[in-house]
Structure 1
């Protein structure tokens, strides 16, 4: 059982000198009393041996000792099995400490339980550290919550400000458009009157763009499908009932708000020119606006915008040396770092525009 020269007395002396608090109880006696403790246990609890021997370990319990853990410990002792736990105990002077313990049965050769042996450790520092970490984490959560609330409030303020800017710009553009229309009506028919009317319409398209941005919840992006549908509907309504119809087939695309005004000008110019010039004599026809997202390279996505009609076509149209529409569209496309292609669609005219949405070409 023991090596030569290693007696029970030597074994007991080693346990007594151990820095680990140890205690032995005797379940064969009433109330399973303490029958031996080492010096480390006395130093941990503040009791003397005569104050512990013959008493149950419940002497170390107090008002905040967890009852559920005690029930688990008692059940393990009744069943004769080992048990590990951390329990809030109290020293002789009443100060609490966290006691980490391992309780094990000591059996004889036949397996009968003679004693229960428990090695223990003061875990108070660990619990204080955990409590400090919880407090720090709670303080951090509160600070993050406060910062988040501040940022949310700042974002709401910024959103409200940008919406107000869009609203005021829309109103100012409407005033300018109305003044130009008033001037156009008082200008004799001819090139000057047509130019004033055309510029008033373009300013009206920009006003419509800002009206739509004002109604969007996200100030940074807008839904191009709703944007195009509303813009084309406003444009078609401005020309009144006619035989030419306008159709849209636009994907739901979230585009940067900075693209709203350039796209409004392009759509207004291309679809408006088709309605004005592609169907002379009020002939029947169709103007179709389509848009989709496509990939040009792995890192670059593009917006493909096509405006086409089945009217008389580019070659059959009357040349207009003073025309500004085509030049305006090409200027806007260059501003967006895109490309544009004009072609006869046999019948009609087709304008295909490609504008980068990501990488270095993004607006």
Structure 2
């Protein structure tokens, strides 16, 4: 392939530069090579996937710097960090808003690595890239949806707060109706998911239906509590984890709970339900592939002025899992933890995964 760099390259017998170049050219991953030894570090090679991603021809790219893909909304801070990494000869990874030849913007996920000779001198910079536009659109849609839901919940809560505090019976009735409505919404989303072709949209509908189901469970438990303002976190966690285990009965993992009796404000029920659903549910779904046996453990205890909640498993662990760039569960957990003014620490449990959450408790929380 014309223009493909050949210096300081070693191949096994029969594996020539031409074979190597042909393999890169046939790759569906957009790839580009620049030469920092030339003025302005120009592009010296790009494969067909890169041309398809950008809309440019080779004659329009070769000899030009990659800034040709930049535009008015390209983040300058990220560009500065990229230039600094190139100047220092180190690898760099980012997602950058670029523009195709026709002016269409797209999110470009790229990894940039230096290519050195035997003496360590940099010959080229090689970058593998990916169109991340769909991921960003999904994230933006989720943020908009969450923002609208949060605003609606906030408005309704503000309207009802005074009356609910004065009338415990009304609060029970509201919990009962919310539970029923959430169950209806969850059922509708599950029905839509079943009628949606397999893929990201179906998975997203299924996941959201399950989350709404967890919220429905939280309201069911609040409705059954004698004290409308508080709930027992021990019984709450036992019931929620039992529901999760029943929903994932195909998983061979056993469930252990060790939760201290602690009366928490009713306002913490929904966030706690979401956290337990995401963390324990993720363990059931992903920690034990192939029907392997294992353990999922949930514990909670008072820790000074706060509560420590730990969800851990002895499954395959974070490093062995399949990366999911469009995943929403971990972001949701971290968002809920921030909402509760808490902290979360993810770690390998050797074996397995451990998530340790600490949230402050209001003064009225009682053992």
Tell me which interval the TM-score lies in, with the shorter structure as reference length.
Answer: 0.5 to 0.7
Q: Distance in 2 between matches of 1:235 and 1:159?
A: 29
1:327 aligns with 2:331: yes
1:233 aligns with 2:242: yes
- 1:168 maps to which of 146, 168, 177: 177
For residue 273 of structure 2, what is the aligned residue in structure 1? 264
Where does structure 2 lack aligned partners over 5 or more consecutive residues?
A: 1-162
1:242 CA displacement: 3.2
1:280 aligns with 2:289: yes
**Root mean square deviation, CA, Å:** 2.1
Q: Distance in 2 between matches of 1:343 and 1:247?
A: 19
For residue 356 of structure 1, what is the aligned residue in structure 2? 360
1:165 CA displacement: 0.3
Q: For the structure 1 residues 180 and 155, does the alpha-carbon distance in structure 2 shift closer, same or farther, using more than 3 Å as the test? A: closer
Q: For the structure 1 residues 246 and 160, does the alpha-carbon distance in structure 2 shift closer, same or farther, using more than 3 Å as the test? A: same
1:358 CA displacement: 3.0
The list of structure 1 runs, each at least 4 consecutive aligned residues, that deviate by more than 2 angstroms after superposition, is 154-157, 358-361
Q: Distance in 1 between matches of 2:223 and 2:199?
A: 36
1:309 aligns with 2:313: yes
1:360 CA displacement: 12
Q: Distance in 2 between matches of 1:177 and 1:348?
A: 31
Q: Tell me, yes or no, if the aligned pair for 2:251 and 2:284 is still in contact at 8 Å.
A: no
Local SS of the residue matching 2:356: strand
1:1-363 alignment, distance < 5 Å = 158-295=167-304, 301-358=305-362
Local SS of the residue matching 2:243: helix
- Report how many aligned residue pairs link the two structures: 204
Q: Distance in 2 between matches of 1:289 and 1:156?
A: 32
Q: TM-score, normalised by structure 2?
A: 0.54
Q: For the structure 1 residues 359 and 160, does the alpha-carbon distance in structure 2 shift closer, same or farther, using more than 3 Å as the test? A: closer
Q: Distance in 2 between matches of 1:360 and 1:350?
A: 29
Per-residue deviation, residues 97-155 of structure 1 (Å, max 9, x unmatched)? xxxxxxxxxxxxxxxxxxxxxxxxxxxxxxxxxxxxxxxxxxxxxxxxxxxxxxxxx99
Local SS of the residue matching 1:327: helix
Q: Distance in 1 between matches of 2:328 and 2:209?
A: 13
Where does structure 1 lack aligned partners over 5 or more consecutive residues?
A: 1-153, 296-300
Q: Distance in 2 between matches of 1:189 and 1:354?
A: 37
Per-residue deviation, residues 165-200 of structure 1 (Å, max 9, x unmatched)? 000000000000000000000001111111100000
For residue 62 of structure 1, what is the aligned residue in structure 2? none
Per-residue deviation, residues 314-360 of structure 1 (Å, max 9, x unmatched)? 00000000100000000000000000000001100000000000369
